[in-house]
Structure 1
Amino acid sequence: MLFAILAGFIVSLLYIPFGRFLKGRLAVLASLLPIGLFTYFAAFIPDIQDGASIAFHQPWVPSLGINFDFQLDGLSLLFSLLITGIGSLVFLYAAAYLKGHPYLDRFYAYLSLFMAAMLGVVLADNVLLLFIFWELTSISSFFLIGFNNDNADSRKSALVALGVTGGGGFLLMAGLILMGHLSGSYSIQEMIATNEYLKGHALYGLILLLVFVGAFTKSAQFPFHFWLPGAMKAPTPISAYLHSATMVKAGVYLLARLYPVLGGTDYWTYPLIIIGGITMLYGAFHSIFRTDLKGILAYSTISALGILVFLIGIGTPQSLLAAAVFILVHALYKAALFLTTGVIDHETGTRDVTQLSGLRKVLFPLAIAGLLAALSSAGLPFTFGFIGKDLVYEATLHTDGILPLVLTGLAVVTNIFLLYAGLLAGLKPFAGRLPERYSAIHLPHALMWAPPLLLAILGIAFGAFPALADASLLNPAATAMINEAIDSPLKIWHGFNTVLLLSGITLALGVALYLARKPSAHGLAWIERFNPLSPKHLIASLTRAVHRFAIRYTRTLHNGFLRVYLLRIIIFAVLLLAFRLFSGGAIRLIPDQLSPVGIYEIAVVGILVAAIYLAVTSTSRLTAVVATSVIGYGMCLLFVFYSAPDLAMTQFTIDTLTVVLFVLVLFRLPSFLNLANRGTRIRDWLVASAFGAVIALIGIQVLNQPIDDTISKFYGDNAYVLAKGKNVVNVILVDFRGFDTMFEIVVLSIAAIGVFSLLKLRLKASEKE
C-alpha cells in the first residue's frame, strides 16, 4: 500500500528527466499509472465488502508519533477508486486535449503528484501523516490551477486557492495536534476508542472549530467558497479532476473520517447543518445566473459540497448513506459535464451558454454524454442521481423536531436550482438550431469524447442496477463513517410515498424553471450588483487593509537603515530587561563583595574610556574601528587580571578577526558621512546610557546571588571522563555545546563569504543606477 501511494511521487520525479519522451502519441502511456492503481484498489473490493479492513504500518518518526499508518476500509476505498478511476480518464483525456502543449510533461508530473497526495489523504490513519498529504494537495493544486502561468488571472487564482486552503490547513494542523495530544495517540483508529473523552473535554469546541475551518476552506464552504470559481482558470482536465472527485472533496472526506471521533454532538451537528445548508442554497442559486459553462459547474459544485457537509451534519445512518451515494453520484455526472465542457470550449472557442446551441449535429456522442449526465444531475428515475436525491429527502424527513420540514424544504429548493444548472450545462449547448459559425466543427479524437460518455453511462448503469455499487462500495463507506454496520440495499422503487412526491415536485419545478428562464448577460449583471457584499470582496477589502498596514509598518520599523534596527533592538531590550529587573524585588546598587582594584585595572579602565570616546566622536571609519579594537583588547586584559586566560584568548582572536573584516569592508566604502544632528546624538547617548545602566544593575544583582556551582562542578567532573579533554572550557565549546559552536562557525563562514563577494563585486553602470 505504501508503494501504491509513493508510485505517484516517483513517477512525478521521473517526468523531470524523461518527460519529453511522453509527448505526442506516447502521452497516453501516462495513464498507465492511474489505471494500474485503480486495478490494485479494485482488487480489494471483495474483502471490503465482507467487512474487512486492511491496515499497513511502517515506523517513520516514532519519537514524534509520526508513522506510515494506512487504513483501507469502505470510505477510503470509495475515494481511492474515484481518485484513480476518474484520474485514469482525465489522464487519457488530457493526452488529446493538451496535444502539442509544450508543457504536457509538466502537466502530468503535477497531476501524478496531486493524485499521490490525495491517495495519501484518504488512506492515512495517522492524523499527522494525513496533514502532510493534505498540504501536498494544496501545493500540487497550486501548480495545477496556475498551469497557464503566462496568464495573470491563472496566477492570481492559484495564489488565492493556495492562500485560502493553506490558511485553513494551518488551523487544521493545530486541531489535529490537539486531538492527538488529548487522546494520547495520533492514530485515527485509536482516537475512536477515546472519542467520549475528547467530546467531554473543555477543548472539544476549539478542536471542532479548527477542524471545521480546515475542512470548510478545502471543500469551498461558505464563506470560503470564492476560491473555487476562480480556480476555473485552469485547463478543463484539471477542473474535472480537482473539482468533481478529488481536492474539493478532501474536506468532506475529513469530516466523514472524523465523524466517529468527534461527531454526534450538538456542537458538531448544528454548525455543519447551518454552514452546509447555506452553502448548498447559495451555490445553487448563483449557478442559475452564470452564463459561462465552467462558472455554472463551479457554483453547482459548491452547492453539491454543501449538500455533503449538510448530510454529514445530520449524522444519522440514513444521511451518511445518502452522503456516500451522493459522493459517487456527483463525481460521475460532474466529471462528465466538465469534460464535455472542455470539448465544447476546445472546438468552438467559447463557453458562453447564450451563444451555444445545436451542437448535437456535429458532436453527437458528446451530446449523449451531456444529456445523460444532465439527467443524472436532475434526478430522473432510473438514473443514479434519482437514487441519490431520494436518499437526501429520506435523510431530511427523518430528522427530529421541526427540522424535517425546514431541512427538506431547503433540500428541495436546492435541487430545483441544481436541476436547472445541470440542464443548462448538459442540454442547452446541444439543443436547438446549430449556428452557421459552428457548422464546420468536427468530432475530436475519441480520447476526448469517450471518457465523459463512459462516466455518463455509469451514472445510468448504477441507477438502473444499484446493486452494482451498494454492497461493494456504498454500504461499506457509510459503515466506515458511522463505525457501525449499515446494510441498506439501494432500490429503484420505494413505492408511492412522500419522497416520491418530493422528487416529482423537484423535477416539475426544475424543468419549468429551465423552460421559463433563459440565461442572459442581464441576469448575470443583476446578480453581480451584489458583489460588494460577497465574502470574496469583503475578504479582498480586508486583505487590502492588511497590505496597507504592512506597508506602513515596514516603512516605520523596517526602513533599511542598520542604525535604526540597532536602536530599536536596544530600546526593546532595555525595556524588557528593566521591566524584569524592577519587577523582581528589591535592587541592590552595591555588591556585597568587591574584589580589590589595583593600578593596572584602573589604567585599563582609563584606556577603555578614552577608546570609547574616540570611537564615538571620530569622523573616520578606520579610526573608529581601531578604537573599537582597543576596547576589545582592553577587555582581554581584564579577563587576564581576573584569572580567565581562555576567555582572554577567545576575545583576542574574535576581536582581531572582526577588525580585519571591518577594515576589508570599510576600505572600499566612501568617506564617512556624519548625518547625526544634536538631537539624534542626545537620543543615542540616552539609549546607550540606559542600556549600560541596566546591564550594570543586572551584573550587580548576579554578584549578590548565592553561587550555585552544580553546573560548573558537572563540567569539571565530566570533562575528562566523557570527552577526554583537560581544558574544561574547550571541552564545553567543542563537546558539550558542540552544536552551538558549529552553528557559530557556520554563521561566521556565511559572513566571510558575503564579505568576499562584496569585495569581488563589479557592477555595471546600469546596475549601479
Structure 2
Amino acid sequence: MTVDVAIILTPFIFAALTPVLYRFISKKYIGWLVLSVSFILFLFLTTYIPRISDGEVVAFTHEWIPSLGIHFTTYLDGLSLIFSLLITGVGSLVILYSIFYLSRSEQLYHFYCYLLLFMGAMLGVVLSDNLMVLYGFWELTSVSSFLLIAYWHHRKASRAGARKSMIITVAGGISMLAGFLMLYEMSKTLSIREIIGNVEAIQEHALFVPALVLILLGAFTKSAQFPFYIWLPDAMEAPTPVSAYLHSATMVKAGIYLVARLTPVFGGEALWFWLVTGVGLFTLFWGSFNAVKQVDLKALLAFSTVSQLGLIMSLLGMGSVAVYLGNSSETIIYTQAAFAAIFHLINHSTFKGALFMMVGIIDHELGTRDIRRLGGLMSFMPLTFTIALIGSFSMAGLPPFNGFLSKEMFFAATLHIQELNIFSLDSIGFLIPIVAWIASVFTFVYCLIIVGKTFFGKVQLHLLAKHPHEAPIGMLISPYTLIVFVVGIFFFPNLLGHYILRPAMASIYPTFPTTQELTPHIHAWHGIFSPELWMTIFVIVVGILLYRLLKRWKPIYRALPQNLSLNSLFNNGISFSESFSNRVTGRYMTGNLTDYFVYIFLAFLMIVGGYFLQTDIFSWSPVDRESLEVFEIILVLIMIASSVGILFAKSRITTVFLSSVLGYSVAFFFIVFRAPDLALTQLVVESVSTVLYLICFRHLPEIRKEIQPKWIKMRNIFISLAVGATVTLVGFAALNYEKFITISYFFNDSYELAGGKNIVNTILGDFRAFDTMLEVVVLFIAGLGVYTLIKLKAKGGGTNEN
C-alpha cells in the first residue's frame, strides 16, 4: 500500500477511533489530536511536490471487484495534488480555528469525527481513478457534510439546511452515476485514465452527449451552480469552521475538480463549452448580484462563494476550447483560461477561508453577524479588520493581493475567447466579457460592504449583545496564516506556478506534450494600456459609485417577486411531494387487512398473470390417474372441504380448527412426497399458530357479519378465483417447463464444491447461512438503536427542540 492510499484511509481510521479516544483524552486535547492527523497528512503530501512537478505520477491499484472492473485505484498527479493540499492544509487551519471557536460543553468528538470523515471522503474523490469508487466517495461527502451542517441539530434552520444540501447534492450525484455508467458502456472501462486515452473512440457514440449532461448535473449541484446554488446559503447555519472548510476550500470544489478532470474527455464538444461557460458566467453574475442585498455577513459570503465558483467554472469552460482546437502554438493562449481557473481556485481558498473565519470571530465575540447592527469596529478589533481588509480586497481583485492576479487573467481570458469564430462565438461572444465585467462590479460592491459597513461608520453598542473586543490569539492564527498566503502569492506567483500549477495543467491537457508552454509567466503588471487593466479600473470606479449610492438603488431587490424564487420553487416542490405522498399512502395504508391482500394479489396477477398472457410458457399435461393413490385423493378432498368451510364458518373456533386441518393436510403431503424437513417445519408452524390462536381466543371480539357493497364482494371473489387459477397454472407450467435447466443442476456437485453429500444440507449451510448472517446484522443494528434510545432516556435526552 502506497502513501497516497494511506492518506485516504488515515482520516477514516481516526474518525472511527475519535469517539473511543474521547473517553480517555481530555476535551481540550481531542482537537489537537485531530489537528496532528490533518497536519501530518499535509506534510506527507508536500513531499510529493518535487516528484509531481518533475512530471511523475503516483498510482496504486487494488483489485476490488474484478468481475465488474471496479478497482480501488489511486492516482496522484498535479491536479489531484492541488486539491489534496487544500483539503489537508486548509483542513488543518480550520481544525486549529475550531479548537478556540467551539465550546468545550459541546459534543466535540461528534464534530471531529464528522470532519475527519469528510476529509477522507474528499481525499477519496480527488485521488480515485475508478469512476465507481469516485462516486462512492462523492456521495460520502454529501453524507458527511449533512452531518456537519446539522451539527447544531437543536436548531431547526440547521436541520433544514442540512436536508436541502443533502437532497440537491445526492440527486445530482445519482445523475452523475448514470453518466458514469454511460461512459462505461461507451469505453468498456471505469478507469478515468483509460477513458481519456480512448476518448476518440467514444466521441461519436450516441450516449456521449447524454453522459456529458448527466455528469455536469452532478458537478453543478455539488459546486452550487445556478440553479442548484440554493443549498449553499442555507448551509451557512453550520458552525463557522464548517463553512470555512466545506464552502470555501473543499466540498464546493468537488464539482470544479470533476469538470477539470473530465475536460480531456468532453472538452472538444460545443455543448460542454456552452454549458460550463454559460452556467458559470450566469452563476458568477447571479451570486454577486444577490450578495449585495444580504444583511447577514455569513449569507453575504455564501453568495460570494456561489459567485466565485461560477467564475472558476466559466474559466474551465473557456479553457476547454483548447481541447477542440488541438495541440498547436496558436491554441496555447486558450489554455491560459484553465490555468487562471486553477490559480483562482487556490486564491479563493485562501481569501475566502480567512473571510469566513473573520465573520466567525465577529459572531463569536459580538454575538451577531447582522450588518445593520455593526459598524465602527476597526478601533475595537484592528487585527480582525486587517483580515477583512486583505481578504475582501483580494476577492475584489485589487493589488497587492493574489486575487488581483487571477482576476486579471480572468478578464484576459474573456477577451481572448470572444475573438474565436467557433461554437457561434463570433455572433454572441461579445457578451462573455460584458457579463464578467458587470459581475465583477457587484463583487467589488459587496466587498466594500464587508469592510465599510462592518468596520467603518458609527459604533452601535446598544445593538450588540457583547462589548466589542479583539479575538484571542488562538482564533487569529489560522486566518492570518491564510492572509500571509494572500499577500505572498502576489509577490511570488511563479513559484506556485512552476511547482503546483504547471503539473495541474499537464493533468487537464494530457495530450499536450509541452507543459512549459501551458504555464504562462504570471505578471502583476501588463502595461497601462492592457484591456484587462482598464476593465479593472472601470470596475473600481463604477463599484465605488454604486456603493456610495447603495441606498438609492438597493430597493430594486424588493421589486423582484419572492414567490417566484428558486427557494420558493424548491420549498413548494417539497411540500407538494410530501402532501402527494401522504395522499397516496393514505389510499393503501387503510388499516384494513382485506385491502392489503387485495393490493398484494393484484400485483401478483399483473406481474405473473401478465407474463403468462404475453408468453407461451404455459403447457398442459394430463395427470396420469393410475399414479394417484387413494390417500392422496382423500387429502386433496379434505383440503378442499376445509378451505371452502372456512368461508362459511360462523364462529372463530371453527375457523381456527378448519385452518389447522388445512395446514396439517399440507404437512401430510410433504411426508408423502418424502420431504421430512418441510413436513417438520409445517407441523411446528401449524402447532404454534394454533396454540397462539387459542391463547388469544378469549381476548378477541366476536365475529360480526361485515356489511359490504355488492361490488366489493364480487371483486374479492374475482381476485380469489384469478389468483387460485394463476397459481394452478404456474404449477402446471413448472411440471413441463424445459426451456431452462432445473435449479437442482447447480447443486449436483455439492460434495465437491461444499463438502456436503446432502443437497438440502448444503443449501442450508452455504447459502442460507449468508441470509442468517445478514439477519443477525440487522438485529444487531436494531439492538444498538434500542440501547441508544434507552441510554438517551436514562440521561434525560431525546428532546425535540426547535
How high is the TM-score relative to the length of structure 1? 0.90
- List per-residue Cα deviations over 1:746-766 (Å, max 9, x = no partner): 89999999xxxxxxxxxxxxx
1:765 corresponds in structure 2 to none
User: What secondary structure does 1:56 align onto?
Assistant: strand
1:3 corresponds in structure 2 to 6
Determine if the alignment matches structure 1 residue 661 to structure 2 residue 688.
yes
1:17 corresponds in structure 2 to 20
Q: CA deviation at 1:661?
A: 2.9
Greater displacement, 255-264 / 148-157:
255-264
Instruction: Report the CA distance shift for 1:683/1:710 in structure 2 as closer, same or farther (over 3 A).
Output: closer
Q: How does 1:414-493 map to 2 (within 5 A)?
A: 414-437=439-462, 440-483=467-510, 484=512, 485=515, 486-493=518-525
Q: CA deviation at 1:193?
A: 0.7
**Are 1:277 and 1:310, in contact at CA under 8 Å, matched by a contact in 2?**
yes
Question: Which consecutive residues of structure 1, in runs of 5 or more, have no partner in the other structure?
Answer: 754-769
Determine if the alignment matches structure 1 residue 78 to structure 2 residue 108.
no
User: What secondary structure does 1:303 align onto?
Assistant: helix
**Aligned partner of 2:532 among 469, 485, 499:** 499
**Aligned partner of 2:104 among 92, 100, 103:** 100
**Aligned partner of 2:136 among 116, 132, 137:** 132
Q: CA deviation at 1:629?
A: 2.9
**Are 1:320 and 1:482, in contact at CA under 8 Å, matched by a contact in 2?**
no
**Are 1:311 and 1:322, in contact at CA under 8 Å, matched by a contact in 2?**
yes
Matches of 1:455 and 1:725 in 2, distance apart? Answer: 67
User: What secondary structure does 1:200 align onto?
Assistant: coil
Determine if the alignment matches structure 1 residue 174 to structure 2 residue 188.
no
Measured on the aligned residues, the alpha-carbon RMSD in Å equals 3.0
Matches of 2:248 and 2:546 in 1, distance apart? Answer: 25
Q: How does 1:641-720 map to 2 (within 5 A)?
A: 644-646=673-675, 649-666=676-693, 667-668=695-696, 669-674=699-704, 676-677=706-707, 679=710, 680-701=712-733, 705=736, 711=742, 714=745, 718=749
**Are 1:382 and 1:463, in contact at CA under 8 Å, matched by a contact in 2?**
yes
User: What secondary structure does 2:62 align onto?
Assistant: strand
Instruction: Report the CA distance shift for 1:152/1:714 in structure 2 as closer, same or farther (over 3 A).
Output: closer
- List per-residue Cα deviations over 1:324-345 (Å, max 9, x = no partner): 1110121111111111111111
Matches of 2:103 and 2:442 in 1, distance apart? Answer: 36
Fraction of identical pairs, as percent: 34
Q: CA deviation at 1:636?
A: 4.8
**Aligned partner of 1:515 among 535, 543, 548:** 548
Greater displacement, 39-48 / 510-519:
510-519
Instruction: Report the CA distance shift for 1:675/1:74 in structure 2 as closer, same or farther (over 3 A).
Output: farther
Matches of 1:735 and 1:147 in 2, distance apart? Answer: 49
**Are 1:353 and 1:519, in contact at CA under 8 Å, matched by a contact in 2?**
no
Determine if the alignment matches structure 1 residue 33 to structure 2 residue 37.
yes
Matches of 1:744 and 1:464 in 2, distance apart? Answer: 64
Instruction: Report the CA distance shift for 1:723/1:148 in structure 2 as closer, same or farther (over 3 A).
Output: closer
Matches of 1:712 and 1:292 in 2, distance apart? Answer: 67
Determine if the alignment matches structure 1 residue 213 to structure 2 residue 243.
no
1:333 corresponds in structure 2 to 351
1:609 corresponds in structure 2 to 640
**Are 2:278 and 2:314, in contact at CA under 8 Å, matched by a contact in 1?**
yes
Matches of 1:574 and 1:610 in 2, distance apart? Answer: 25
User: What secondary structure does 2:60 align onto?
Assistant: strand
Query: What amino acid is aligned across from residue 328 of structure 1 in structure 2?
Result: I
Matches of 2:365 and 2:241 in 1, distance apart? Answer: 15
**Are 1:86 and 1:241, in contact at CA under 8 Å, matched by a contact in 2?**
yes
User: What secondary structure does 2:454 align onto?
Assistant: coil
Matches of 1:530 and 1:69 in 2, distance apart? Answer: 49
Greater displacement, 431-440 / 373-382:
431-440
- List per-residue Cα deviations over 1:1-35 (Å, max 9, x = no partner): 21122221122222202225242366444322222
**Are 1:57 and 1:70, in contact at CA under 8 Å, matched by a contact in 2?**
yes
Matches of 1:85 and 1:174 in 2, distance apart? Answer: 33
Q: CA deviation at 1:105?
A: 2.7
Determine if the alignment matches structure 1 residue 145 to structure 2 residue 149.
yes
Q: CA deviation at 1:64?
A: 3.2
1:357 corresponds in structure 2 to 375
User: What secondary structure does 1:202 align onto?
Assistant: coil
Matches of 1:374 and 1:229 in 2, distance apart? Answer: 19
How high is the TM-score relative to the length of structure 2? 0.86
**Are 1:334 and 1:373, in contact at CA under 8 Å, matched by a contact in 2?**
yes
Instruction: Report the CA distance shift for 1:287/1:524 in structure 2 as closer, same or farther (over 3 A).
Output: farther
User: What secondary structure does 1:429 align onto?
Assistant: helix
User: What secondary structure does 1:334 align onto?
Assistant: helix
**Are 2:617 and 2:733, in contact at CA under 8 Å, matched by a contact in 1?**
no
**Are 1:398 and 1:404, in contact at CA under 8 Å, matched by a contact in 2?**
no
Query: What amino acid is aligned across from residue 618 of structure 1 in structure 2?
Result: A
**Aligned partner of 2:589 among 538, 552, 558:** 558
Matches of 1:184 and 1:463 in 2, distance apart? Answer: 45
**Are 1:49 and 1:472, in contact at CA under 8 Å, matched by a contact in 2?**
yes
**Are 1:41 and 1:81, in contact at CA under 8 Å, matched by a contact in 2?**
yes
1:42 corresponds in structure 2 to 46
Instruction: Report the CA distance shift for 1:698/1:14 in structure 2 as closer, same or farther (over 3 A).
Output: closer
Instruction: Report the CA distance shift for 1:389/1:720 in structure 2 as closer, same or farther (over 3 A).
Output: closer
**Are 2:316 and 2:337, in contact at CA under 8 Å, matched by a contact in 1?**
yes
Q: CA deviation at 1:675?
A: 5.6
Q: CA deviation at 1:446?
A: 0.9
Q: How does 1:743-758 map to 2 (within 5 A)?
A: none
Greater displacement, 707-716 / 329-338:
707-716
Instruction: Report the CA distance shift for 1:633/1:69 in structure 2 as closer, same or farther (over 3 A).
Output: same
Instruction: Report the CA distance shift for 1:402/1:721 in structure 2 as closer, same or farther (over 3 A).
Output: closer
Matches of 2:240 and 2:552 in 1, distance apart? Answer: 22
Instruction: Report the CA distance shift for 1:152/1:707 in structure 2 as closer, same or farther (over 3 A).
Output: closer
**Are 1:289 and 1:524, in contact at CA under 8 Å, matched by a contact in 2?**
no
User: What secondary structure does 2:610 align onto?
Assistant: helix
**Are 1:632 and 1:652, in contact at CA under 8 Å, matched by a contact in 2?**
no
- List per-residue Cα deviations over 1:40-88 (Å, max 9, x = no partner): 2122222222222222233333333333321222111111111122111
Q: CA deviation at 1:702?
A: 5.1
- List per-residue Cα deviations over 1:603-630 (Å, max 9, x = no partner): 3333222211222222444432332232
Matches of 2:458 and 2:713 in 1, distance apart? Answer: 84
User: What secondary structure does 2:308 align onto?
Assistant: helix
User: What secondary structure does 2:525 align onto?
Assistant: coil
- List per-residue Cα deviations over 1:621-670 (Å, max 9, x = no partner): 443233223223434555666xx222xx3443232122123234322252
Question: Which consecutive residues of structure 2, in runs of 5 or more, have no partner in the other structure?
Answer: 321-333, 421-425, 781-802
1:632 corresponds in structure 2 to 663
Q: CA deviation at 1:712?
A: 8.0
Instruction: Report the CA distance shift for 1:324/1:403 in structure 2 as closer, same or farther (over 3 A).
Output: farther
Matches of 1:16 and 1:229 in 2, distance apart? Answer: 30
